Structure 1
Amino acid sequence: MKLYFHLCVDGFTNSYTILNDRPDVKEAIIVDPGKIDMETINLIEEGDYKLSAVLITHKHTHHIQGLRTLKKIYTPVVYAADAGIYGMDCSILNGDGIVKIAGFNVEFFSVPGHSPDSMVYKIEDVVFTGDTLISGVTGSTLSQYSHKLLCKKIKDKIFSLPNRTVIFPGHGSPSTIESEKQFNIDLI
């Protein structure tokens, strides 16, 4: 697996491109296409990859505004917990499970709290948390109840992963499960 990071200045969101470089696969996945630029397109085109899927952690605009651009160029399957993304057809994910995408087993976990449709994705030893878990803090919530629910779901579903698992959030720098267990101010 090859993983490429892209900072989307609009909203200062993180977008990720995952490549399966095996010659018999040559497929790509994009997580949270905040904004698509030529760097991302060139990565796919110059490597002769097929964009198989787009994974949406939640449908806040600054995490998905590049989706329209991608759909004009490619025909990826869009995976999300909510069908209402720009009126596009999505493969709806409910609860927790595993789907096979681009030669990877992609685990998904429903972790509501920041938003009702918050979804976390795990590929190999990497987890994409969107705004559910950001280095050192949890995502914002609208109520104390939502905050408590979010913290419980993080501890139950994300902190049960191996300590060496790398966290790639929707904003800010990467982290690890071990670091978040020790230093996340919302979860200590």
Structure 2
Amino acid sequence: MTLEHPAYGQLRQVTPTAAVLLANNPGKMTLDGTNTWILRAPGSDSCVVVDPGPRDKSHAARIAEFGPVALTLVTHRHFDHTAGVKRHVKLTGSPVRSADPKFLRGSETPLAAGEVIEAAGLRIEVLATPGHTGDSVSFVLDDAVLTGDTILGRGTTVIDTRDGTLADYLASLEALAAIGGGRRLLPAHGPDHPDTADVARAYLAHRQERLDQVRGALEVLGPNAKPMQVVRHVYSDVDKKLWPAARSSVKAQLEYLRS
């Protein structure tokens, strides 16, 4: 039987070169859990791991079963993608590369926009996609795009205003829409989708709709309304448990509109 998402602890083949191992860390911000992607060309003995995931001994051990790991890549700094790096390196000996130097292991070179990586028989292009965080990157394969948290398999992405901005995020969505046609969407949370460009365009439309709603809220609440006031007005139909996350995105929207 063909596996379907979610499939905890089981390697699910999605494309000829990409398989996913879902970590058992579901939550309001992680959806069903973190997708660790295992990439290899047909016939390759080694693989590339994308996002080792949370600090979970069983998840790290399962990843190691599919080695040897030639290289590990990180889409962005959030702990549900990076907390497992230390154990992963201990088990596999893999070098780790990321845009944030904090997570480099066995390498002193952060990922650079436009860089092409050749490993496990694959050609992987690094696409800078900041917005969700300042260090967010996506990885472009011939037939797929690994989008990290920039585009999810379900729902929408929160802007982390510690270093993410809506202006950057919208530009990243435009870039993914331009490059993603005919390439499968492989997100860091949620199920995969047939075409990255289609989902990127839907995300852009949703963001414009939210911006219009925030503009409408400011007309009612006044131009100096605080983020949580706008959340209560715009997200009244959303579970209040998600309001703190919505506040972060609204803060980014207000900064975008006011700039």
Q: What stretches of structure 1 move > 4 A for 4+ residues in a row?
A: none
Contact 2:61 / 2:91 at 8 angstroms: preserved in 1?
Answer: no
Range that drifts further, 113-122 or 5-14? 5-14
- Is this contact kept in 2: 1:151–1:187, CA < 8 A? no
1:47 aligns to what?
none
**Greater helix share, 1 or 2?**
2
| Aligned pairs, number | 178
Q: Which residue of 1 aligns with 2:37?
A: 16
Unaligned runs of 5+ in 2: 1-15, 210-259
CA deviations 1:105-145 (Å, max 9, x no partner) are: 110011111111101001221111111111365521145x8
Alpha-carbon separation, structure 2, partners of 1:52 and 1:138 = 32
What is the TM-score when the length of structure 1 is the normalising length?
Answer: 0.82
For the pair 1:40 / 2:73, whether they are aligned, the reply is no
SS at structure 2 position matched to 1:84:
helix
CA distance in structure 1 between the aligned counterparts of 2:200 and 2:83, rounded to whole angstroms: 32
Aligned to 2:167: 148
1:17–1:30 contact (8 Å) kept in structure 2: yes
Pick 1 or 2: higher relative contact order, CA cutoff 8 A, min separation 6.
1
Q: TM-score, normalised by structure 2?
A: 0.62
Cα contact 2:145–2:196 (8 A) shared by 1 = no
Taking a change above 3 Å as real, the CA distance of residues 74 and 109 of structure 1, as seen in their structure-2 partners, is same
Structure 2 residue matching 1:160: 3-state secondary structure = helix
1:26 is aligned to: 45
Compared with structure 1, are the counterparts of its residues 95 and 76 closer, same or farther at alpha carbon in structure 2 (3 Å cutoff)?
A: same
Offset of 1:69 from its aligned partner?
Answer: 1.6
Q: Structure 1 residue 64: deviation in Å?
A: 1.4
d(CA) in 1 for partners of 2:165, 2:91? 38
Q: Distance in 1 between matches of 2:113 and 2:66?
A: 32
Alignment of 1:16-95 (within 5 A): 16-22=37-43, 25-35=44-54, 36-44=59-67, 50-85=68-103, 88-90=105-107, 91-95=109-113
- 1:187 deviation in Å? 6.2
Using a 3 Å threshold, how does the CA distance of structure 1 residues 142 and 65 change in structure 2: closer, same or farther? closer
Q: Does 1:110 align with 2:128?
A: yes
Q: Which runs of 5+ in 1 are unaligned?
A: 45-49
> In structure 2, what is the Cα distance between the partners aligned to 1:183 and 1:19?
30
Q: 2:181 aligns with which of 163, 166, 172?
A: 163
Q: In the aligned structure 2, how far is the partner of 1:88 from the partner of 1:62?
A: 18
Check the 8 A contact 2:151/2:200 in 1, yes or no.
no
Deviation of 1:170 after TM superposition, in Å, equals: 1.2
- How far has the Cα of 1:160 moved from its partner? 1.2
Distance 1:89 1:27 in 2: 17
Question: What is the RMSD of the two structures over their aligned residues, measured on CA atoms?
Answer: 2.3
**8 Å CA contact retained: 2:179, 2:197:** no
The answer to whether the aligner puts 1:3 opposite 2:18 as a matched pair is: yes
Residues 38 and 93 from structure 1, CA distance in 2 versus in 1: closer, same or farther, beyond 3 angstroms?
closer
1:70-123 Cα shifts (integer Å, max 9, x gaps): 2112222212101112x7444311222212122211100111111111010012
Q: Deviations over 1:133-169 (max 9, x none)?
A: 11365521145x81232012220x2111252211111
Higher strand share: 1
